[in-house]
Structure 1
């Protein structure tokens, strides 16, 4: 299955209260393997994506390693010595999504180098503002999926979720899920006999993550975004301290 194909979705809810046809979700797969190589991370993405598809969310997957992303922490690294940089185009896809899920493998107990690069490039645009003077990622929600055959799911999730909230994403409850199998070298998620796709703990957390992302994204979107009071960089820069007066350091 390639990144443009989702797993067969479960039967969608018949309650229109839980239809999310106005939402878009973007999964960024931070595997080290270029397409069309099999990605175990993609297998877990497909489970989460199928739940969202079943409720009307428009979903998309990007395999980051397939794109020529320059390293760096500026929005367009071609302005800083690199000849090519695919990030400005991918950033437009990020902004078009109400839900962002960063997904990747564990290596040496930590996030992959590609995951770290994606976080850096998200960070590169964190100073940009929306039309209300807030940071550009406000009004969106974030989550993460982790796969591997060694310990480190919670460590990797903490790093990603902290990074996303620091950049402006809202993080709902249970916003992460992962699978590692037995600690130590062993089968990966999609390997025959791994038990990964059937694992009840992983499937439960993946389902809760998908639903909580949809719930929070819908609440934010239908409320017109995150309230623009006390968090507008444009107002702060203009001298408005919003009840947080500058201390007198005399």
Structure 2
């Protein structure tokens, strides 16, 4: 089984990423279950806006799309900015919109029988809103969203320390992240054995 982690931080490498640090807890828990984990930071890639899989030219999205289709588990990691997902997370979802019209060999949407979850960090409120926006969009695209398929960390309203600068809230965020990995793996495993069949009129 494979998992793809898409980090939607606004920071390009090699800048440190809070969402990457928390997502690593989920990735480690999946690896303990034998899952092969792949990572991509979209800020490092040339991914222009659009709603198709391949815009041509230097568009890097087609390669990300291939990695999406190679994974049974998707984890989207986004910071909270002004209580909302990052602009890069929104761009990712817009590019994934093309998957609605892409089908597998059995005519089901390509996202069917794949699971997804969300990791959010920010030193402001809004994590539940970010989780609901991203999870809702991924569900529209066809991903299965297990119960408790998310974790988050936030410092609380107003300015404050970033995730690596404090231990505040880490124990809860980490335990929730490990539960998230457990649930993602369990549902992905179930779908491998008993996939959602094609719908016939």
Q: TM-score, normalised by structure 1?
A: 0.78
**Residue 57 (1) aligns with residue 35 (2):** yes
What is the CA deviation profile of residues 62-91 of structure 1, one whole-angstrom value per residue up to 9, with x for unaligned ones? 00111111110011112xxxx321111110
Show the counterpart of 1:112. 86
For the 8 Å contact 1:72–1:124, the answer to whether it is kept is no
Tell me the distance in 2 between the aligned counterparts of 1:182 and 1:166: 30
For the 8 Å contact 2:50–2:95, the answer to whether it is kept is yes
- Where relative contact order (Cα < 8 A, 6+ residues apart) is larger, the structure is 2
Other structure's SS at 2:186 match: helix
Q: Could you say which structure has the larger radius of gyration? A: 1
CA deviation after TM superposition for structure 1 residue 214, in Å: 0.2
Tell me the distance in 1 between the aligned counterparts of 2:161 and 2:98: 36
CA RMSD of aligned residues (A): 1.1
Show the counterpart of 2:196. 226
For the 8 Å contact 1:181–1:187, the answer to whether it is kept is yes
For the 8 Å contact 1:32–1:65, the answer to whether it is kept is yes
Q: TM-score, normalised by structure 2?
A: 0.96
Show the counterpart of 2:15. 37
**Residue 69 (1) aligns with residue 47 (2):** yes
Give the strand-richer structure, 1 or 2: 2
**Residue 208 (1) aligns with residue 182 (2):** no
Other structure's SS at 2:37 match: strand
For the 8 Å contact 1:70–1:84, the answer to whether it is kept is no
Report the number of matched residues.
Answer: 201
